[in-house]
Amino acid sequence: MALTTDGIAIPPLAEEHRMVRDLVVRFVERDLMPLEPAVLKRESEGQRYGLTPEEEAPLLAKAKELGLYGLDVPEEFGGADLPVSALMAIEEEMGRTVTPFIFPPDSPNLHMLLAVANPEQRMQYLDPYARGEMRSSIAISEPGAGGDPAGMTTRAVKEGDSWVINGRKIWVSGVPRADFIILMARTGEGKRQEGVTAFIVERGTPGFIIEREIPMIGGRRTYELVFEDCRVHERQILGQLGAGYAPMQLRLNVRRLQMGARCTGMARRALDMLCEQAKNRSTFGVPLADRQAIQWWIAEAATKIHTTRLMVRDAAAKMAAGEDVRTEASMLKVYATEMAQEVLDNAMQTFGAMGMTKELPLQLMASQVRVQRIYEGPSEVHRMAIARRLLKG
């Protein structure tokens, strides 16, 4: 049994968890990958990147039938209660396809709700969310603030038994389909995390305005939101007043581990395609597989994929043990996204002109990884945070 850098045991996946992972492998290969040509064609024609309702409905039904809903949802909410390590193994497999599909519910917001939702909020939001009957999003970033919480200016002011919210959020994902958003706003005078409170704001609340849709590379779309005298009852406070930063950080740590696992899956797909192309294509009478440059790309990709997977397992074991994994999550987020970018780029280069087309999934994965170097904190901010913590000892 391997150990983390802090001596915590990294157990291998239990047999039952390997069985779930293998079930997901078959789901990806039999149900998701066959949809890639249609997804890529629509995206290449300027249509919305995503599944049609006719494509998504049977996938959701099959996932539910196979028991793939609520994989890390606690048993008390009807879930499988998989450990973080098993969930990350599943995320890696899901990263191998560009068909956009997740097993409900979205894990990071789930963990935030589990950590701080009160009994009433659990019944009203967490229960249906855990069952896949509700969707959510989270609004953190603001224009001009980016990854620095000190720049957060959205403010909530108490009036009677309500809070009135004014401000602006940007780069928020999944807004049109969200039944509620988790909104971070200032309720105190702290410089950074102090005084930040999380609120649950339901879709359709007066003063909650979707200002604009922002197309992103990689087929993604985010949204800018405006809050104009948006009034929510005090029971909509998620967690403790002025203490919303810590549960938000928990959510971000889960997301960053997910990104590490997904990048591992994308890099695996790219390496598989690279190897297949190298074996089947010759240039100047020599198979690409015999070219030293290609061989080194393959060796380095395999080594870095292995390294990233070990980083994911290390962080997952520490998280399961209750350790603070902010540093490991930052390291993983930086390393995994840059690793996947390199492997994808080399795979595209191996395919030559074909690698530049929108007929292959490589270009879409490369664009999505490029976005991930910004999402959930830019690489530069994570490097700064890693160094700061190490210098503090």
Considering the candidates 43, 91, 92, 376, report the single residue annotated as catalytic.
376
Give the angle subtended at the CA of 218 by the CAs of 215 and 224, to the nearest 5°: 30
From 53, 22, 50, select the one nearest 36 (Cα to Cα): 50
Distance CA 248, CA 236 (A): 16
Q: Are 3 and 10 in contact (CB under 8 A)?
A: yes
Q: Are 76 and 122 in contact (CB under 8 A)?
A: no
- Say which amino acid occupies 327: T
- Cα-flanking dihedrals φ and ψ of residue 363, to 5°? -65, -35
Omega before 105 within 30 of 0, i.e. cis: yes
Q: Are 266 and 344 in contact (CB under 8 A)?
A: yes
- Whether 376 is catalytic is yes
Distance CA 346, CA 28 (A): 24
Beta bridge partners of 180: 136, 202
Q: CB atoms < 10 A from the CB of 195, how many?
A: 19
Give the angle subtended at the CA of 352 by the CAs of 35 and 41, to the nearest 5°: 25
Find the DSSP H helices in the chain: 15-27, 36-44, 53-65, 84-94, 107-116, 119-121, 127-130, 245-280, 292-320, 326-350, 362-372, 379-392
Q: Which two tokens stand for residue 98?
A: 């560009």
For the annotated catalytic residues, the residue numbers are 376
